Amino acid sequence: MTGSVEQGTSDTHGNTRLLHFLVRLPRPVEKVWPALATEVGLAAWFTPADVLEPRLGGEVALRDTGAGQVTAWDVERVAEYTVEGGGRLRFHLERDGDTGTTLRFTHEFRGSGPFEQRWRTRFERLVELLEERQPGAPPSS
């Protein structure tokens, strides 16, 4: 299985924007989870997590995004971070066959900006990272 980033969608409700992405990842959930739920994993494709307490209500500080709390936590299924100034970031994982994972991502925030392209670029980096780590996969160029 190869990974892919499907077209993101954007909705506006009053002052709130919702971005949604569906990302197909070439690794099983247990291999994807650390990329979304650990300091080292987040730093590899998104941003350094200066603080990440992996539990519901734990503190989180994502560099260049904001500090706040873990607002949903279901190991190998859902990680959600709500940060001041950065909004709510929800990563929801689902098994996709025996070897893949589907990531349903939502970013809820106020304001505007080029967030759609930024997230697409980040998710492309995540796909590449996971493809590189897949046994037998050729290195990416």
> CA distances (Å), 18 to each of 12, 88, 96, 108, 113, in order?
6, 9, 24, 5, 12
Between 53 and 133, the more confident residue is 53
Which of 9-13, 56-60, 70-74, 81-85 is the least confident region?
A: 9-13
User: Quick one: average pLDDT of 63-77?
Assistant: 96
pLDDT the model gives residue 38: 97
Burial class (CB in 10 A: 0-12, 13-18, 19+), 107: buried
pLDDT the model gives residue 105: 97
Confidence of residue 26 (pLDDT cuts 50, 70, 90): very high
